[in-house]
Amino acid sequence: MRKTLEILSHFKIEGEITECGPYGNGHINDTVLVVSKLFDGTMKRYILQSVNINVFKRPLEVMENIQRVTDFLRDKNEDERATMHLIPNKDGSSCYIVGGKCWRIYDFIEDSICLDLPETTEDFYQAAVAFGEFQKNLADFPAEKLYESIPDFHNTPKRYNDFIEAVNSDVCGRAKNVREEIEFVKARKDFCSVLYDAKDRGEIPLRVTHNDTKMNNVMLDGKTRKALCVIDLDTIMPGFSVTDFGDAIRFGASTASEDEKDLSKVSMDLEMFDIYTKGFLEGCGGGLLDSEIMLLPEGAKMMTLECGMRFLTDYLNGDTYFRVHYPEHNLDRCHTQFKLVSDMEEKWDKMKDIVKAYCKD
Ligand code: ADP
Ligand code: GN1
Ligand code: MG
């Protein structure tokens, strides 16, 4: 607590801090909930985060991206809670750097809920609207002003090469435990370049995208349960609309959590796929091309395969990237993703039929 108070003392926080403790289920940053008592006796909450500098090598660039994007979005929505709000450091900057860590504080978004899995189809629809609108609202944001916070973040062919390198180096001697999983990825090598090939053919443009569209990166209004605010803005970069769609499907249209051990519980729910397609396209305000809409299933399968491959790579590398809570955590996560990929392959024609129905022509 003393160390946290020292960090907090550098920010323009109101009142007197009464509580702070770990918060949320993110895999990357350290998140702390801070409670402060104001002079009139009411309580105010903040989210304090240390940006993971193993993942974000240039945290100041990440902060600059977030500051620019939130300033831009705030002008487009009158509801204060609809946009993340950074509390400035007393020196006027957006973070405080100490001991190799980069700290930042946001206002806590009150009267809201954050779900690890949607509880109803309507929750998922609302998340879809939120991420679609997010993309629409950033359509006229000057993309050239954004830093690439993680280069090649959703460059799946590059992720494939990193995976092969991890298999070949096998630094922890774990490759022998995962022969089947390695073969699963290798059999899908050609698929990895499908979206980049479509980009080269001009079918999917680069847009300003979120790139980490998990259900727990969106807040719903606590009373109405309507879309409220997109959070976790570290990976906003130019990207493909279909990967924002796809990452949300991989996480939220799954019938089980990302680290479920009982794979018989894991499948991709077609009704959820349909409802998310509807919400996302509505949120985008008709802004997606038919060629993008037709590639939404590829986006879903790509993000699921890529994520499974990243979990497997991290397992092979000794769990250095994602936060793990037990030794084989990354492997369990990898298994759910590969089960989802297989399930999508079985449901492929139905996924294509669903998106086709939303095309304009
Ligand atoms: P990570 O990159 O580790 O996923 P996030 O920025 O997503 O970190 O934060 C982790 C969790 O903390 C979120 O899933 C959400 O539950 C909560 N959270 C983050 N920011 C806020 C906020 N401003 N208000 C309320 N809750 C928040
Ligand atoms: C990480 O930060 P978080 O938990 O929202 C990761 C995503 C993965 C996700 C898998 C910066 O997201 O890319 O899809 O875990 N974020 C980063 O759950 O690597
Ligand atoms: Mg998150």
Q: What is the pLDDT of residues 93-138, one digit of tens each?
A: 999 999 888 999 999 999 999 999 999 999 999 999 999 999 999 9
- Which of 109, 82, 73 is closest to 227 using CA atoms? 82
At residue 78 the predicted structure's pLDDT band, cuts being 50, 70 and 90, is confident
Provide the pLDDT for residue 34. Answer: 97
Residues measured by CB to lie within 5 Å of ligand 3, the ion? 26, 217, 232
The mean per-residue pLDDT over the stretch 323-352 comes to: 98
Is 30:49 a contact under the CB 8 Å cutoff? yes
Enter the DSSP assignment of 268: B
Which CATH number is correct for 2-109, 3.40.50.300, 3.30.200.20, 3.30.450.260, 1.20.1560.10?
3.30.200.20
Provide the pLDDT for residue 26. Answer: 87
Rounded CA-CA distance 86/275 in Å is 32
C-beta of 235 in contact with ligand 2 (< 6 A): yes
pLDDT digits (tens, 9 = 90+) for 279-302: 999 999 999 999 999 999 999 999
pLDDT digits (tens, 9 = 90+) for 43-77: 999 999 999 999 999 999 999 999 999 999 999 88
Mutate to test the pocket of ligand 1, among 23, 27, 53, 232 (most ligand atoms within 8 A of CB): 232
Interval between CA 266 and ligand 3 midpoint (Å): 22
The Cα-based distances of 194 to 81, 235, 298, 347, 354 in angstroms read 38, 22, 8, 18, 20
Provide the pLDDT for residue 172. Answer: 98
Class of the domain covering 114-356: alpha beta
Closest ligand 1 atom to residue 106 Cα is: 23
Cα Rg of the chain (Å, integer): 20
Rounded CA-CA distance 273/124 in Å is 9
Closest ligand 2 atom to residue 56 Cα is: 11
Residue whose Cα lies nearest atom 16 of ligand 1: it is 24
Closest ligand 2 atom to residue 234 Cα is: 11
Q: Residue 155: how many CB atoms within 10 A of its CB?
A: 17
pLDDT at 1 over 80: no
Give start-end residues of each CATH 3.90.1200.10 domain in the chain.
114-356
The winner for highest mean pLDDT among 12-16, 142-146, 340-344 is 340-344
Q: Residue 86: how many CB atoms within 10 A of its CB?
A: 19
Provide the pLDDT for residue 32. Answer: 96
At residue 2 the predicted structure's pLDDT band, cuts being 50, 70 and 90, is confident
Rounded CA-CA distance 113/228 in Å is 9
Residue whose Cα lies nearest atom 1 of ligand 1: it is 26
Alpha helices in 35-155 (DSSP H): 59-74, 121-137
Per DSSP (E only), the strands in 38-111 are 43-51, 96-98, 101-107
Three-class secondary structure of residue 145 per DSSP: helix
Global confidence as pTM: 0.96
Residue whose Cα lies nearest atom 15 of ligand 2: it is 27
Token pair, residue 169, equals 């180096």
Mean of per-residue pLDDT scores for the chain: 96
Give start-end residues of each CATH 3.30.200.20 domain in the chain.
2-109
Contacts with 66 (C-beta within 8 Å, 6 or more apart), sequence order: 84, 86, 94, 233, 234, 236
- Which of 193, 186, 197 is closest to 163 using CA atoms? 186
Rounded CA-CA distance 272/258 in Å is 16
pLDDT digits (tens, 9 = 90+) for 131-182: 999 999 999 999 888 999 999 999 999 999 999 999 999 999 999 999 999 9
C-beta of 27 in contact with ligand 2 (< 6 A): yes
Rounded CA-CA distance 127/282 in Å is 12
- How many angstroms from the chain centroid is the CA of residue 301? 16
pLDDT at 360 over 90: no
Alpha helices in 35-187 (DSSP H): 59-74, 121-137, 156-169, 179-186
Contacts with 128 (C-beta within 8 Å, 6 or more apart), sequence order: 248, 275, 276, 277, 278, 279, 280, 282, 283
pLDDT at 341 over 90: yes
C-beta of 307 in contact with ligand 2 (< 6 A): yes
Nearest ligand, measured from the Cα of 48: 1
pLDDT at 214 over 80: yes
Nearest ligand, measured from the Cα of 233: 1
Provide the pLDDT for residue 276. Answer: 98
Token pair, residue 106, equals 């946001």
Rounded CA-CA distance 132/126 in Å is 10
Interval between CA 217 and ligand 2 midpoint (Å): 10
Interval between CA 170 and ligand 3 midpoint (Å): 29
